[in-house]
Amino acid sequence: MTCSLALALLLAAVDRPVIDLSGGRVQPLPMAIARPLGAADVGAVAETVLSQDFDRSGLFRLLDRAAFLAPASEGLTGFDYANWQAVGAQALVKMSCEAGAASAEVKCDMRLYDVSRAQELLHGSYTAPRQGLRLVAHRFGDDVVRYFTREPGVFQTRIAWVRESEAGKQIVTSDWDGFAIQPLTGASINLLPSWAPDGKSIAFSAFREGTGAHLFVVDVESQRVRALVLSGDFATGASWSPDGSRLLFSSSVNDNSDLYVAQADGSAARRVTDARGIDISGSWSPDGKRIAFVSERAGTPQVYTMAADGSDVRRLTFQGNYNQEPAWSPKGDLIAFSGRDEHRVFDLYTVAVDTGKVTRLTQNQGTNEKPAWAPNGRYLLFSSTRTGKRQIWMTQPDGSNHRQVTSEKGGASDPSWGPLPK
Amino acid sequence: MPRSLLAPEARMPALPALALAVLLHVAVIAAALWLPRLFDRAKPPRKPIIAHLVALGRPRDPRLLPRKESPPPSAAQPLTAPTTKPGPAPKKPEPSRRELMERALASAAGHATPESREPPDPERAGSASGSPEGTAASAEEGDAYFTAVHDAVLEHYVVPSVISERERLFLSASVIAWIGADGRILKHEFQAKSGNTFFDQALERAIEQTKLPAPPPDLARALRDSGVVLNFRP
């Protein structure tokens, strides 16, 4: 009996004091990109692209190369991790790039290391034509992002936007960072590009053949343009459903603007709103079951949602008197929109679909409009006049990490983020 | 026939007696382990209450779109003794964020709103090493030490932004840390991992980087032998 009591007391005595800690600071992961080995010119390009990707992503804090302790000749493997630990790196990228025999081809060996645990995490060998070098760096960057976040990266994605010039407005595409611009249309009046989910084509609104704006589609590969919707006084704001089977757009018939859902080729359009006043700017929910849109039915433009067949209409925004351009996030929880505040300036906001809570993303930085989500939901593109001419900018959904994407002389607007590469 | 007084008494058989003894021992051990838990049962997990304190400013018309969260106002001016004769009572200023926080903390702790601190009490009871946000006049030395441990670890508690916001909300882990007499963390061990390698690594880094003061003598042995549990929440 005595022994049992002693044992019980001993076990009971192992109770430890407990301290609860919460509110850790969220910070980018410190990362070092070692000086590339091999062909200096090729390595420099790859390193620059990769550094910009990581820096713009907001996920990593790149360490200053001037502080590095490791010798420049240090190899891809078999190095001393202590040199990298000492400069505070937690992740380390090393690469070696070579130009092929014909110099038309480049080959890069890229590696990611966990400095704390002194182990290799990723190893990729990439061969590409020299003009594809940027894509090689983007690809390895996406591999790194996926490793850390377990979500796809967006470094290989393309974005579409409108390039503005004296000649008109032209639909172009570029890499997510604004490089590698590819014009898709002439410079007449082309607006509101919207990617098809497969990334092969882009719908847009254009004033052609002397009529009001109507919908057209351009093949990204061949740049061939064909008409999509020519009915009504005008048709604009095309948006393909996430599965690519339906097309949502707004059209005006007899001065009454409503939303329509049609087949992907624009046929068999069916009106899904039937209220007095304007109903425009439709955006699909990620599951394709609901649509966010703008309606004036309550007197001022506000953001609403409804089922894809037009039933179950719910008003989502109640603050402000001019809210427009809703964009439903790929994660489904937020809808970004632009709203005009009491100073009569448009800024970006998000509204939580569940609670209706509105959060402001931009303020006191010119006019900010046309939000467009990245396919992984981690970023938003938008147009901003903060530097003078309207340009494309990027932000994170909490309003942090604003980065300029375009620097077009005549301006840039109407961004649309393309799908993730297959 | 009457039983002889010299006859041996009937004895309990050995096997049942042994079984009874074992049962009794088991019952005692179970009671010793279970009873304290019955009266000292861990409270059910509660959702953390995060206080978003109202910033100093004008009330905003709820019909307007919101403003961005603005940074807190600059630190209050140091208090100086009045050099001139006080005039008529000045208009009561709007409470600062810090004052609002103190009120919220006091309210959460069930204390009266510390309105008496306006103007601040120059003889406010407390400790030279106390926190401006503290609400108690005195503290057990043990509590003061654990507060120091909390603050020291929190200083290094960094969550990598590579972990998605959605995942961050649900990450938690427990680490046992054994603390030496000089405040060094002798060793640490995960009692429960979060399931996210980067989060767990960040916690290990936080613990490795933390410098603690030496524990008070009455806690030193327990902290060295049994350690302290650090529960990390988002």
pLDDT digit string (tens) for A298-342?
A: 999 999 999 999 999 999 999 999 999 999 999 999 999 999 999
In this structure, of A133-137, A170-174, A310-314, B29-33, the range with the lowest mean pLDDT score is B29-33
The pLDDT confidence band at residue B84, using thresholds 50, 70 and 90, is very low
CB contact under 8 A, A4 and B198: no
B226 touches A: beta carbon within 8 Å: yes
- Collect all residues of chain B within an 8 Å Cβ-Cβ radius of residue A362: 68
The pLDDT of residue B89 is above 50: no
pLDDT for res B61: 85
Confidence of residue B77 (pLDDT cuts 50, 70, 90): very low
CA dist A277 and B224 (Å) reads 73
For the beta carbon of residue A38, count every other beta carbon within 10 angstroms. 18
Residues of B in contact with A21 (CB under 8 A): 150, 153-154, 157, 230-233
Across the interface, do A12 and B161 touch by the CB < 8 Å criterion?
A: no
B144 confidence band (pLDDT: 50, 70, 90):
confident
CB contact under 8 A, B146 and A27: no
Return the HEC string of chain A.
Answer: CHHHHHHHHHHHCCCCCEEEECCCEEECEEEEECCCEECHHHHHHHHHHHHHHHHHHCCEEECCHHHCCCCCCCCCCCCCHHHHHHCCCCEEEEEEEEECCCCCEEEEEEEEEECCCCEEEEEEEEEEEHHHHHHHHHHHHHHHHHHHHCCCCCCCCEEEEEEEECCEEEEEEEECCCCCCEECCCCCEEEEEEECCCCCEEEEEEECCCCCEEEEEEECCCCCEEEEECCCCEEEEEEECCCCCEEEEEEEECCEEEEEEEECCCCCCEECCCCCCCEEEEEECCCCCEEEEEECCCCCCEEEEEECCCCCCEECCCCCCCEEEEEECCCCCEEEEEEECCCCCEEEEEEECCCCCEEECCCCCCCEEEEEECCCCCCEEEEECCCCCCEEEEECCCCCCCEECCCCCCCEEEEEECCCCC
Least confident of A43-52, A195-204, B10-19, B23-32: B10-19
- For residue A422, what pLDDT band results from cuts at 50, 70 and 90? confident
Round the average pLDDT of chain B to a whole number and report it. Answer: 71
Q: Judge: B228–A339 Cβ closer than 8 Å, yes or no.
A: no
Strands of the A358-360 sheet, one edge to the other? A323-328, A334-340, A346-352, A358-360
CB-based burial, A326-353: b 16+ in 10 Å, e otherwise: bbbbbbebbbbbbbbbeeebbbbbbbeb
- What is the pLDDT at residue B79? 34
Candidate from A373-382, B128-137, B173-182 with smallest mean pLDDT: B128-137
Would the CB atoms of A342 and B202 count as touching at under 8 Å?
no
Token representation of residue A132: 């594809």
User: Which residues in chain A are closer than 8 Å to B166, comparing Cβ atoms?
Assistant: 331
Q: Is the pLDDT of residue A43 over 90?
A: yes
pLDDT for the residue B15: 81
**Residue A239 pLDDT > 90:** yes
A-chain residues within 8 Å CB-CB of B188?
none
**Neighbour tally for A255: CB within 10 Å:** 7
**Does A414 score more than 60 pLDDT?**
yes
Tokens of A264: 């992907």
The percentage of chain A sitting over the pLDDT mark of 90, rounded to a whole number, equals 86
The helix-helix angle for A133-149 and A40-57 (nearest 10°) equals 40
Q: Name the most confidently modeled range: A33-42, B46-55, B161-170.
A: A33-42
Q: Supply φ then ψ for residue B202, to 5 degrees.
A: -65, -35
Distance, CA of A88 to CA of A68 (rounded, Å): 10
What is the pLDDT averaged over residues B110-122? 42
Smallest CA–CA distance, residue A150 to chain B, in Å, is 8
Please give the helix or strand (H or E) that residue B99 lies within, else none. Answer: helix B97-108
Yes or no, beta carbons of A5 and B164 under 8 Å apart: no
pLDDT attached to residue B167:
84
From chain B, pick out residues whose CB is under 8 angstroms from the CB of A17.
142, 146, 222, 228-229
Among A231-245, A354-368, B70-84, the least confident range: B70-84
Position B83 scores a pLDDT of: 37
| Residue of chain B minimizing CA distance to A3 | B25
CA–centroid distance for B144 within its chain: 11
Tell me the chain A residues in contact with residue B191 when contact means C-beta distances shorter than 8 Å.
none
What is the pLDDT, as a whole number, of residue A295?
Answer: 97
Residue B23: pLDDT above 60? Answer: yes
Whether residue A268 has pLDDT greater than 60 = yes
| Nearest residue to B188 (alpha-carbon basis) of B178, B198, B197 | B178
Q: Which of A328-332, B9-13, B16-20, B171-175 has the lowest mean pLDDT?
A: B9-13
- CB contact under 8 Å between B28 and A359, yes or no, is no
Q: What is the pLDDT of residue B35?
A: 72
Residue A320 near residue B65 (C-beta atoms within 8 A): yes
Residue B14 C-alpha, separation from nearest chain A C-alpha, in angstroms: 18
The β-bridge relationship of strands A182-183 and A168-175 is antiparallel
SS3 B27: helix
C-alpha distance from B119 to closest chain A C-alpha (Å): 31
| Yes or no, beta carbons of A4 and B157 under 8 Å apart | no
- CA atoms of A258 and A274, how far apart (whole Å): 7
Find, among A316, A352, A160, the residue nearest to A238 by Cα: A160
pLDDT class of B11 with cuts at 50, 70, 90: low
The confidence band for A72, taking pLDDT boundaries of 50, 70 and 90, is confident
Burial level of A297, CB count in 10 A (0-12/13-18/19+)? Answer: middle
Diameter of chain A measured on Cα atoms: 102
Q: What is the DSSP letter of B230?
A: E
Do A21 and B230 count as a contact with CB atoms less than 8 A apart? yes
Read off the pLDDT band of B9 (50, 70, 90).
low
Compare B50 and B97 and report the one with higher pLDDT: B97
Bridge partner residues of A120 (DSSP): A113
pLDDT for res A50: 97
- Residue in A with minimal Cα distance to B204: A116
What does the pLDDT read at residue B59?
A: 78
Whether residues A347 and B153 touch (CB distance < 8 A) is answered with no
Spatial neighbors of B50 by CB under 8 A, at least 6 apart, are none
Contact (Cβ atoms closer than 8 angstroms) between residue B96 and residue B76: yes
User: Model confidence at A211, in pLDDT bands (50, 70, 90)?
Assistant: confident
Chain B residues closer than 8 Å to A4 by CB = 25, 28-29, 32
Contact (Cβ atoms closer than 8 angstroms) between residue A413 and residue A370: yes
More reliable by pLDDT, B6 or A174: A174
Distance from CA of A29 to the nearest CA of B (A): 5
- CA distances from residue B153 to A319, B147, B156, B186 in whole angstroms, order as listed: 41, 10, 6, 15
Distance from CA of A355 to the nearest CA of B (A): 15
The chain B residue lying nearest A13, using CA atoms, is: B226
Interface test with A, best of B64, B67, B162, B209 (most A CBs within 10 A): B162
Query: Chain A closest CA to B89's CA: distance in Å?
Result: 37
Classify burial at A401, counting beta carbons within 10 Å of its beta carbon; exposed 0-12, middle 13-18, buried 19 or more.
middle
- Please enumerate in sequence order all residues whose Cβ is within 8 A of that of A334, keeping only pairs 6 or more positions apart, or say none: A328, A350, A351, A352, A353, A397
A54 → chain B, closest CA residue: B162
CB–CB of A150 and B153 under 8 A?
no
pLDDT at A171: 98
Mark yes or no for CB contact B63/A8 under 8 Å.
Answer: no
**Using an 8 Å Cβ cutoff, are A180 and A133 in contact?**
no
Strand, coil or helix: what is B160? Answer: strand
* Whether B32 and A5 lie within 8 Å, measured CB to CB: yes
Let me know: does B161 contact A58? Beta carbons within 8 Å: yes
Average pLDDT of A47-71? 95
Provide the mean pLDDT of chain A.
93
Distance from C-alpha of B21 to C-alpha of B24, rounded to nearest angstrom: 5
Residue B157 and residue A23: Cβ atoms within 8 Å? yes
Measured between beta carbons, the chain A residues lying within 8 angstroms of B162 are 28-29, 59-60, 145, 148-149
* Chain B nearest C-alpha distance from A163 (Å): 30
Name the residue among A11, A22, A398 with its Cβ closest to that of B48: A22
Among A149-158, A375-384, B88-97, B123-132, the range scoring the smallest mean pLDDT is B88-97
**Does residue B229 surpass a pLDDT of 80?**
yes
Inter-chain contact B226–A349, Cβ cutoff 8 Å? no
Mutation target to probe the B interface, by most B beta carbons within 10 A, among A26, A59, A90, A112 is: A26
Give the percent of chain B with pLDDT over 90: 29
Tokens of B221: 């042995």
pLDDT bracket for residue A390 (50, 70, 90): very high
pLDDT value, residue B132: 55
Q: What is the pLDDT of residue A254?
A: 83
For A160-190, write each residue's pLDDT tens digit. Answer: 999 999 999 999 999 999 999 999 999 889 9
Residue with tokens 């001019």: A322
Q: Provide, as residue numbers in chain B, all residues whose Cβ is less than 8 Å from the Cβ of A5.
A: 28, 32
Query: CB within 8 A of A85, min separation 6: which ones?
Result: A115, A116
Smallest CA-to-CA distance from A36 within A92, A90, A88 is with A92
For the segment B158-164, the average pLDDT, to the nearest whole number, is 89
Query: pLDDT tens-digit profile of B166-214?
Result: 788 889 999 999 999 999 999 999 999 999 988 999 999 999 999 999 9
B164/A151 Cβ within 8 A: yes
Q: A73 vs A78, A109, B26, CA distance in Å?
A: 12, 16, 68
